[in-house]
Chain A
């Protein structure tokens, strides 16, 4: 059986599955239940000056009958006294010494405030710290969370202050509510961050009740933006992880967060550069027991791939993530329909006909049976038909020889520049 242990910037964990700092890690009772279920680590719900929470707090986006495609919350950091949290952290760590317990922290952007809280939490024996520069609501209005996370210099300064006193590894948690996450990531590293984690939640309004016209959720008829997470945000998170992973100026381990619900998601995040991952929404939807299949599925996957350690996955796909300008414009795929697997729903036809390149014909064979066929010469290889196809294996995207040598946009521009004897500014990165 494959070894699932990870070491994230010095934080040891028996497996890569951590619970993210969020409602599931609010109390010792919850974190201990999670550890009993098999979670390798937990980032304690953010500690700081206790706040007051609203009712209601959560909302979800359902899609075609599936619940919680996306999840939205307006809950803030811990509303319990620091002493209580610290006592429970100590108890939890004592009961589960092999698990990673990380304290998430958020205080005002003042050096003394950071020094004080770092010392207090490290005294109870946490394995690491996670600086919450990402929470997009409530705390941001007070100059904390995303408000400081959106200012690279503040991220750098606060990380520096923490590192002045911290004895355990420091993870900086980044907000996605920013134009280029690598900028903040680089500043965190400049400040001395040992690792970064991402993404925190994305500014969101879950919905509007079309009958009452209230926001969803609402607090006594009023709403405010919340933070969005859950399966719907996974592609956004994955891109941000990948952008940081492939940026040489970042260069620290990454704890991946954002819509992770299954072991496959974990594999994807690790291949894209995450050393470990954090989960929240999936646990909130189904309970801590979901980690059972995550562990089991990941083990089986690694065994099937002949990998002895989960760490062998880390970053394997990063080099394949590039800039558009470096993609081979002469690579060509076309759609091919396997008539024996096609169930004739014609969804590929209508998708292509109405919204793509009109190259799938609805035909009738000599036997009178309807079938679909791609006019390959007109197919641009966009994938749309295979995306909408509900029948597994009915549409394959097949590589065809374009007869042309590989050429990227950037190479092409350089060639043109050479011919014209001028410098091209049209390079795409």
Chain B
């Protein structure tokens, strides 16, 4: 096993340092220079490329004039989880990718500027928004992740009494538990939830709908419900050896590093990560930072088909993660001690003709099986759907993807609206934090519209 010159950092007591935020923020001077470089485009393409339509030139202009409070407000106004998004958004594919300076020189570092302004608000404990005058209506939000928080924030600003039901110990959802700390520290997402709580939104943590509170209670007590429960853990691979000690679920692995259990057992180990999405990359880089001796990602297709963002892939390569393309795990092999000892894989090839989804299907190469000696396996092949909850609520769904009206975001139960990963499915965009935030806003606006209309109808009838 080879240790780099940074070996000290890899010792167990140094592990937590590996999880400190990786990318440095802009300095005041850096922010001033970068913000002044922005052209302040009219009808700017960056705004259109942002799923939450943040007025980017406007918030950048405010940084340039030293109006950081106004800047943070412009960001958070459009995106209630704008501080997290500043760190996790694939900006190259969104705002920065649309920047008119891409070809002229280099795009404005919008993500870093957004982080600079929101960091300022966080560090100075600035409350950016106020609750609206109470209108007497009550809304329940299931799940306190980006979509739920976003809906709750907008509803509270309009005077709705909002209560959130969060199964976890802390609010924030994926931002709090599912994104590696060195990219998104928990303090950031917790500040965002605090901003929402300060509007009078009650967040009941550790409360699971169906276990601690029944759907009927919610439906009786609240005028409308926003379902923003996200997704679950990684599903089973369905191969032999998954129960062995040393097999981890990527989401749980990341979660463990964010809740203080730093999983020292990966120290010096050979880790195989199965999958090639952003969570798989997170799990792989997490493993590196947990001191793993070697981290390999196994993917049955090629780099072309992997769903992780380019910058994630580049980051993983820089971290020393190895990639085994066209490799399909068939079986996890245990040693005599019940622990993972190896993973048996087969080599794949891509079909000549693209399959129904437009991608070339991976096909096994006969007699290509081989044994890869590993000490740990991390599975990252997607996330489970909250089938139980969805059925408990009696909502129509397609394989766990809740069906909604695209415009109203209403589910098959008109009292229940849905946003975020719970409605994310094939052909429905990307499961980005920023999309969830936008959907949360839209669900809130739809509720406001419907409840206001209904009130108007009642008023008219009364007249």
Question: Is B17 positioned at the interface, with any CB of A under 8 Å from its CB?
Answer: no
User: Which residues of chain B (93-116) have a CB below 8 Å from chain A?
Assistant: 100-101, 103-104
In the bound complex, what is the Cα–Cα distance between A346 and B40 (angstroms)? 9
- Given contacts A65-B32, A65-B64, are A346 and B103 in contact (CB under 8 A)? no
Shortest Cβ gap from A356 to chain B (Å): 14
Say whether chain B's binding surface is mostly helix, strand, loop, or mixed: helix
When distances are taken between beta carbons in the complex, the residues of chain B under 8 Å from A349 are 42-43
Contacting A at CB under 8 A, from B1-48, are 32-33, 35-36, 39-45
A13 to B224, alpha carbons, bound, how many Å? Answer: 86
Looking across the interface, which residue of chain A has its beta carbon closest to that of B35? Answer: A65
Residue A64 is within 8 A (CB to CB) of chain B in the complex: yes
Asked if A113 CB lies within 8 Å of chain B CBs, one says no
Q: Which residues of B contact A391 (CB under 8 A)?
A: 104
CB-defined A-B contacts under 8 Å, sample of 14:
A65-B32, A65-B36, A343-B100, A343-B104, A344-B45, A345-B39, A345-B41, A345-B44, A346-B41, A347-B41, A347-B42, A350-B43, A390-B39, A391-B104
- Whether the pair B33, A345 counts as a contact (CB closer than 8 A) is no
B36 in contact with A346 (CB, 8 Å): no
Q: List, in ascending order, chain A residues with CB within 8 A of B32's CB.
A: 65
A380 in contact (CB, < 8 A): no
Q: Is the CB of A345 within 8 A of B42?
A: yes
A17 to B41 CA separation, bound complex (whole angstroms): 40
A362 at interface (Cβ–Cβ under 8 A)?
A: yes
B100 touches A344 (CB 8 A): yes
Tell me the complex Cα distance, A215–B234, Å: 64
Which chain A positions have C-beta within 8 A of B100? Answer: 343-345
CB of B153, distance to nearest CB on chain A (Å): 31
List 14 other contacts, CB 8 Å, given A344-B41, A350-B42: A64-B64, A66-B36, A343-B101, A343-B103, A343-B104, A344-B100, A345-B39, A345-B41, A345-B44, A345-B100, A346-B41, A346-B42, A349-B43, A350-B43
Separation in Å of the A340 CB from the closest CB of chain B? 11
Chain B nearest Cβ from A305, distance in angstroms: 30
- Which B residues between 375 and 417 are near A, CB-CB below 8 angstroms? none
Interface size on B, residues (CB 8 A): 16
Interchain CA distance A391-B392 in the complex, whole Å = 58
Residue tally, chain A, CB below 8 Å to B: 13
Q: Which residues of B contact A (CB under 8 A)?
A: 32-33, 35-36, 39-45, 64, 100-101, 103-104
A-side contacts of B40, CB under 8 Å = 347
Q: How far is the CA of A350 from the CA of B41 in the complex (A)?
A: 9
Contacts of A390 in B (CB 8 A): 39, 104
Residues of B close to A362: CB separation below 8 A: 43
Q: Looking across the interface, which residue of chain A has its beta carbon closest to that of B32?
A: A65
Q: Which residue of A lies closest to B37 (CB)?
A: A65
- Residues 21-66 of A contacting B (Cβ, < 8 Å): 64-66
Residue of B nearest to A349 (CB): B42
The 5 closest A-B pairs by CB, nearest first: A65-B36, A350-B42, A346-B42, A345-B41, A343-B100
A-side contacts of B33, CB under 8 Å? 65
With A65-B32, A65-B33 given, is the CB distance from A347 to B39 under 8 Å? Answer: yes
Bound Cα distance A213, B104 (Å): 41
Give, as a whole number of angstroms, the nearest-CB distance from A208 to chain B. Answer: 15
Residues of B contacting A66 with CB < 8 Å?
36
A349 to B42, CA, bound (A): 8
User: Complex: how many Å from CA A349 to CA B35?
Assistant: 22
Q: A335-364: which have CB < 8 Å to B?
A: 343-347, 349-350, 362
Q: Which residues of B contact A344 (CB under 8 A)?
A: 41, 45, 100
Q: Give the chain A neighbours of B43 by CB distance below 8 A.
A: 346, 349-350, 362
A362 to B104, CA, bound (A): 20
* Residues in B neighbouring A347, C-beta threshold 8 A: 39-42
Identity of the chain A residue whose Cβ is nearest the Cβ of B43 in the assembled complex: A346
Chain B residue contacts of A64, Cβ below 8 A = 36, 64
User: Cβ of A350: which chain B residues have Cβ within 8 Å of it?
Assistant: 42-43
Q: How far is the CB of B422 from chain A (nearest CB, A)?
A: 33
A345 to B40, CA, bound (A): 8
CA distance in complex: A278, B240 (Å): 85
CA distance A66 to B32 in the complex (A): 10
Smallest CB-CB separation from A348: which chain B residue? B42
Bound form: Cα–Cα A65–B38 in Å: 12
A276→B104 CA distance, assembly (Å): 38
Give the interface centre of A343, A344, A347, A362 by most chain B CB atoms within 10 Å.
Answer: A343
Residues of chain A with a CB closer than 8 A to B104's CB: 343, 390-391
Q: List, in ascending order, chain A residues with CB within 8 A of B41's CB.
A: 344-347
Min CB gap A414→B, angstroms: 45
Roughly how many angstroms separate A85 CA and B43 CA in the complex, as a whole number?
61
Interface-centre pick from B33, B36, B104 (highest chain A CB count, 10 A): B104
Q: Chain B: which residue is nearest A392 at the CB level?
A: B104
| Closest-CB distance, B112 to chain A (whole angstroms) | 16
Closest to A341 in B: B104
0 or 1 for each of A54-82: is its CB under 8 Å from B? (1 = yes): 00000000001110000000000000000
Q: Given the complex of chains A and B, what is the CA–CA distance between A214 and B64 in angstroms?
A: 23
A65 to B40, CA, bound (A): 15
Residue of A nearest to B31 (CB): A65
User: A225 vs B42: C-alpha distance in the bound complex, in angstroms?
Assistant: 39
| Residues of chain B lying within 8 A (CB to CB) of residue A65 | 32-33, 35-36, 64
Question: A345 vs B102: C-alpha distance in the bound complex, in angstroms?
Answer: 12
CA of A65 to CA of B31, assembled, Å: 10
